[in-house]
Amino acid sequence: MKNKKNILFVNYSLGVGGIETLILELCRRLDKNKFKLSICVFEKQGRLEPEFKQLGVDVFIIEKGKRADFVLPFKIAALIRKYGIDIVHTHNQTAWLYGGIAAFFAGVKLVHTEHTTADYHNYHTQRWIFIEKILSFFTDKITTVAGSVADFMKKKVKISPDKIEVIHNGIEADIFNLEIDAAGKKKELGLPDGCLVAGNVARLFEAKNHKGLISAFKKVAEEIPNAYLLIAGDGPLKNTLIKQIDEEGLGQKVRLLGSRRDIPELLKVLDVFVLTSFREGLPIVLLEAMACGLAVVASDVDGNTELVNNGETGIIVSPDVTESISKAIIDILSNRHMAKAMADKGRDRVKREFSFETMTGKYENIYGQLIVKKSCSKE
């Protein structure tokens, strides 16, 4: 169909993560009669690459050089011109910098999605405030996945509110309404019958605060001897966490599962989901856990508090205080009636307010508005 508009997503990689999953689901659900979709990333061998290709999405890999890469924007701009891209849609800071400059050089519309607020308390990240402010001048629309991120962009980065729109992440809640052989899944994971299980799904990066979670779980294991902790995800902290688990004497209680593609089934064996990050936007995995019918423990940061009503759908804790994390996990594991009440309310809220259909429709509306503006400017 010759009237299709070409959308190019730009992201750092196609690894298994929240941003990559969001882009994948957008590619799955955007109207194929209106849009031809492609994605450009800066790293090879992303685990989700085959899934994008199965959807008919063109995947372009332009490797980024170490440190600042002054040639990269020109390479992306050449790609934009070659394939007749109409709109570039970047995700998070690095992609915005290189993809945004490329869109400017190529003269095409630019949408950017900010997924989290970075740690702007040191010189390196302070520079991003200046960079993002400049990028905002030639970005047509900026979306954020949480109101807290939008507030940061308005108040700290000083971006015009007229350019910013909050579009909450969505999920397919019905996918998580599944029945599994929980005993069989526990056996597969090496867990004993009748045990209580806390779980976390996140890349093994400092910002996700796995160290604090593991330290907190030592107290949980002392109070509840049949409690176990599962951590799904991979990343540069893997060896550090393995060492910590050994030093804490938790080798039999904490399991690092690596990257998983069976998250719905994994969530179904948990009794509580725990996310202790220092920073978050609007974490998809927290939505997934709530859709699965789990009470949650979440850190008092960014979008977590937009999802979790403290004391109603879960417990909000300080990520810096391991005692508060331990107590929240123990409270939920020890009070099954309270846990079920929280879980039921959380599931209902996700179904009501955070759907893929709502999210996709808002992005399609933005693309449509920009295409109309582009057409009008040519007349």
- Express each pLDDT in 279-336 by its tens digit: 888 888 999 999 999 999 999 987 899 999 999 999 999 999 999 999 999 999 999 9
Residue 162 tokens read as 């007229």
Phi/psi zone of residue 31: left (φ > 0), alpha (ψ -120 to 50 degrees), beta?
beta
Residue 140 shares a structural domain with residue 126: yes
Of the pLDDT bands very low, low, confident and very high (cuts 50, 70, 90), residue 125 is low
Residue 200 shares a structural domain with residue 303: yes
Neighbours of 234 (CB within 10 A): 16
In 3D space, the residue among 202, 174, 186, 191 whose CA is nearest the CA of residue 293 turns out to be: 174
User: Does residue 201 have a pLDDT over 70?
Assistant: yes
Which of 28-37, 113-122, 129-138 has the least mean pLDDT? Answer: 113-122
DSSP structural state of residue 64: P
User: Does residue 378 have a pLDDT over 80?
Assistant: no
In this predicted structure, what is the pLDDT of residue 3? 80
Residue 199 shares a structural domain with residue 113: no
Sign for the pseudo-dihedral over CA of 181, 260, 194, 350: negative
d(CA 153, CA 165): 11
Cβ-in-10-Å burial (0-12, 13-18, 19+) of 178 comes to: exposed
Q: Which residues contact 269 (CB under 8 A, 6 or more apart)?
A: 180, 182, 185, 186, 189, 191, 197, 199, 230
- Mean pLDDT to the nearest integer, 360-369: 95
- Mean pLDDT to the nearest integer, 348-353: 90
Task: CATH number of the domain at 260, please.
Answer: 3.40.50.2000
Cβ-in-10-Å burial (0-12, 13-18, 19+) of 113 comes to: buried
Residue 59 shares a structural domain with residue 139: yes
Residue 157 shares a structural domain with residue 248: no
Residue 148 shares a structural domain with residue 177: no
Q: Is the pTM of this model over 0.85?
A: no
- Express each pLDDT in 59-73 by its tens digit: 999 999 888 899 999
In this predicted structure, what is the pLDDT of residue 280? 85
- Contact assessment for residue 62 and residue 75, using Cβ atoms and an 8 Å cutoff: yes
d(CA 149, CA 159): 12
Of the pLDDT bands very low, low, confident and very high (cuts 50, 70, 90), residue 377 is low
- Express each pLDDT in 135-193 by its tens digit: 999 999 999 999 989 999 999 899 999 999 999 988 888 888 888 999 999 999 999 98
Report how far Cα 296 is from the mean position of its chain's Cα atoms. Answer: 17
- Mean pLDDT to the nearest integer, 213-236: 97
Residue 88 shares a structural domain with residue 213: no
- Contact assessment for residue 237 and residue 210, using Cβ atoms and an 8 Å cutoff: yes
**How confident is the prediction for the chain on average, in pLDDT?**
93
Domains identified in the chain, total number:
2
Residue 149 shares a structural domain with residue 178: no
Residue 232 shares a structural domain with residue 263: yes
d(CA 199, CA 273): 5
Q: Show the domain range for 55.
A: 5-170+355-378
In this predicted structure, what is the pLDDT of residue 123? 46
Residue 146 shares a structural domain with residue 37: yes
DSSP structural state of residue 92: H
Residue 102 shares a structural domain with residue 190: no
- Express each pLDDT in 263-287 by its tens digit: 999 999 999 999 999 988 888 899 9
d(CA 106, CA 8): 13
Of the pLDDT bands very low, low, confident and very high (cuts 50, 70, 90), residue 127 is confident
Residue 105 shares a structural domain with residue 197: no
- Express each pLDDT in 74-96 by its tens digit: 999 999 999 999 999 999 899 99
- Contact assessment for residue 143 and residue 165, using Cβ atoms and an 8 Å cutoff: yes
Which of 13-17, 32-36, 211-215 has the least mean pLDDT? Answer: 13-17
- Mean pLDDT to the nearest integer, 200-228: 97
User: Does residue 122 have a pLDDT over 50?
Assistant: no
